Amino acid sequence: MGSIIENLNSVFTKLFTSIDQNVFNELDKLVFITPKIISDKTTAKLLGDNFLSGTISISVSIALGVLIFYAFKYLLSHLTFENVQNPISFMFKLFISLFIVLNIKIILENIIFLNNEITKEILSLGSGFFEGEVNFSSLIYKINSSLYILDSSFDFVSLDGVIKIIISFGIINLLLEYALRYVVIKVMCIIAPILVILKSFEDTKYLYTSFIKAFFSILFMQNIVAVILVISTKIEISGYSLMSKLIFLGTIYALIKANKLSTDIFGGISVQNGISIQGMMRGII
């Protein structure tokens, strides 16, 4: 029985060391989105750079279709006496939408840039007030300092071992969730021109509204994460107390719930992958 426990301890130690050394650097890249997310060759090609390429060309075609549909509906309204959107209002909205579509890449880059600047300010304020770098790597350093995990004394049947297992699987959950968020933001940027065009027509305006709420919600999430990182990495702990360990456990849980908080503020979609800490613990047990 003792040899089985020793083997399990060895396996868990290697697993957690690998997670600590590789995952946290990637989390910083996944969470803190920069304009580079839409400047790679594939995304830029899919988005397009003029009205003849990418989703921009699709949105221009949709705009033409919306215009024809509106014209037919407006003419028919003289026979059915149905209320339709004012022609001047419709043409003005369509013109503005087309202007935004043709400049969508610049607009998206500036929105993402400004959001990332807010994130940088939050992190730099934390670094300035408390001294030291604020990122996921500094967080794992404090967690491991509290849990004795970097040496051979790890024991998965101890309280420290159980807490570390929960935290490590929570980190894997974070990695999956933030990777999903990264992909969703990239996809939303690609289809943004199409949703912008739909705003000009009253019957499809709700799709644009839902898209905007979802986009800003999922983008703003990184600022909530930055605040949590500042608080958690700079919180004063006393030695290796149980309280400090529970605080770090709560930190991982708060990072997982950051998306829900952002969704509650702005509305929109959630990028939680459905894997909970409780569910992973049931799998372990």
d(CA 112, CA 114): 6
- In Å, what is the CA distance from 145 to each residue of 35, 132, 204, 248? 35, 16, 54, 11
State the maximum Cα–Cα separation within the chain, in Å, rounded to a whole number: 87
- Which distant-in-sequence residues (6+ apart) come within 8 Å of 192 by Cβ? 47, 55, 104, 108, 211, 215
pLDDT of residue 280: 41
Cα–Cα distances (Å) from 50 to 57, 64, 98, 103, 146, in that order, read 7, 16, 11, 9, 54
Q: What is the pLDDT of residue 285?
A: 39
pLDDT value at position 275?
Answer: 47
Is the separation of the CB atoms in 251 and 136 below 8 Å?
no
Question: What's the 3-state SS for 240-262?
Answer: CCHHHHHHHHHHHHHHHCHHHHH
| Cβ–Cβ < 8 Å for 197, 101 | yes
What distance in Å separates the CA atoms of residue 55 and residue 40, rounded to the nearest whole number?
Answer: 16
Half-sphere exposure of 35 (CA within 13 A, CB side): 11
In this structure, what are the phi and psi dihedrals at residue 254, rounded to the nearest 5 degrees?
A: -65, -40
pLDDT at 1: 55
pLDDT the model gives residue 111: 95
Query: For every one of its 285 residues, what pLDDT tens digit does the chain have, with 9 covering 90 and above?
Result: 557 777 777 777 777 777 767 777 778 888 899 999 998 888 888 998 888 888 999 999 999 988 898 888 888 887 777 787 788 888 898 899 999 999 999 999 999 999 999 998 888 887 666 666 777 777 777 776 666 544 546 666 677 777 777 877 888 888 888 888 899 999 999 999 999 998 887 778 888 888 998 899 889 889 988 888 888 776 665 555 677 777 778 888 888 887 777 776 666 555 665 444 444 444 443
Q: What residues have CB less than 8 Å from 125, skipping those under 6 apart?
A: 230
Tokens of 73: 């509906």
Cα separation of 89 and 95, whole Å?
A: 10
Q: Which among 138, 118, 109 is positioned nearest to 226, based on CA atoms?
A: 118
From CA 205, how far away is CA 5, in angstroms rounded? 60
Q: Where are the beta strands (DSSP E) in the chain?
A: none
- Radius of gyration of the CA atoms of the chain, in A: 25
Instruction: Give CA–CA dist 120/178, Å, rounded.
Output: 18
Is there a contact between 172 and 255 (Cβ–Cβ < 8 Å)? no
Nearest to 191 by CA among 54, 33, 69: 54
Count of CB atoms situated within 10 Å of the CB of 185? 21
pLDDT given for residue 238 in this prediction: 55
